[in-house]
A and B are shown apart, each in its own frame.
Chain A
Amino acid sequence: MTFSDKIKMSGFFAYICFVAASFIFNFNPGKLIGINFYSFSMEMLKLLPCAFILIGLFEVWVKRKTVEKHLGAKSGFRGYLWAVLLAGTTVGGLYVAFPIAYSLHTKGAKLSIIFTYIGASAICRVPMTIFEASFMGIKFSIIRLFASLPLVIVTSMLLGHYLTKRKYKILPGK
């Protein structure tokens, strides 16, 4: 266990003790924090097992060649299209997109494509966009989509290009 792990562990235990004590002594702020933690954990536990099983199946079944061909260095414009379409069907949010993007990259998807995927899964998930339009109006959603998607793709290209030039390597084994 490294030093920073030890700090994290003690922080974690301090947090648990604080929340537990808050419930025992009826300290409202601490109780609210505990309830926040619980409700967000439940929200994520609904998604994460499915997401990780699908990632596992992806890693086992999908051939590296296939990913490289469609999302790799020579994929061209259609690679970005795939990334956006895939993002549209992603559920959850950034925290689900990160492990998926990571697996895609380890299978040969290029950096600019996975950043496009991450950005697009933040802004153009289909169920979320429909939900958004029902509260904000369809005009708002369309403007937001058409303004943000090109920016996401362009900045992803810039970021991908910059990192490739700097010989960026993704952290292995996550």
Chain B
Amino acid sequence: MYYLYILTLLALLISVFKSVDKTSKAVKIALKKFINILPAFVSMLILVSIILFLIPDKIILKYLGNNNKIVGIMLASFFGSVTLMPGFIAFPLCGILLKKGVTYMVLSAFSTTLMMVGVLTYPIEKEYFGTRVTILRNIFSFFIAIVVALITGIFFGEIW
């Protein structure tokens, strides 16, 4: 996290040093873009706050422990798609699941959909790229996640 602050500060300093005018223009662009997209961010945050209440970690822990492989993958990719959590919550959760005996294949489906498929980021993605592209990209990503999960399963010997 800190390297982002240092990088931004450095970039700003260099920019100011080279041209104050251009820097103030850049900050104005930043502010304008941020304000433009803010309503979409608030929509996303509202969705996130409700979904995380409806699907807390406990539920995910409970359902991913399912022994049936196909049901496991289906549930994992469903939970991964409709939730949103930062890596520092998601991977410790995966670590716990792994210790509980959940297969790598299922965890791969969960973590890949979590990262790539954004039902909750829909309000933001739609603002930038439009509804059609957003839906297409998410469908593609969902299938990528399923294929990746199957490949993971093959490599860990969980399919045969």
Contacts and interface: CB of A to CB of B under 8 A. Distances in A.
Contacts of A144: 108, 111-112, 148, 152
A148 B33 contact: no
B80 to A, nearest CB: 11
Contacts of B71: none
B28 A143 contact: no
B95 to A, nearest CB: 4
B26 A57 contact: yes
B50 to A, nearest CB: 6
Given A60-B22, A60-B25, A131-B88, A99 B33 contact: yes
Interface residues of B, number: 70
Interface centre among B30, B86, B144 (most CB of A within 10 A): B30
Contact of A52 (B33, B43, B86): B33
A91 B41 contact: no
B87 A132 contact: yes
B128 interface: yes
B63 interface: no
Interface string B1-42: 100110110011001000000110111111101101101011
Interface in B85-142: 86-88, 91-92, 94-95, 98, 104, 107-108, 111-112, 115-116, 118, 121, 124-125, 127-130, 133, 136-137, 140-141
Given A57-B15, A155-B140, A174-B127, A50 B8 contact: yes
A143 B104 CA distance: 11
Contact of B5 (A40, A50, A148): A50
Interface centre among A49, A94, A171 (most CB of B within 10 A): A94
A73 interface: no
B82 interface: no
A76 B157 CA distance: 37
B42 to A, nearest CB: 7
A81 interface: no
A71 interface: no
Given A36-B49, A95-B124, A168-B133, A148 B112 contact: yes
23 contacts: A36-B50, A40-B49, A50-B4, A50-B5, A50-B8, A53-B11, A55-B30, A55-B33, A57-B30, A59-B29, A60-B15, A93-B84, A95-B44, A122-B116, A128-B87, A135-B94, A143-B152, A147-B151, A148-B144, A151-B147, A155-B144, A158-B140, A159-B133
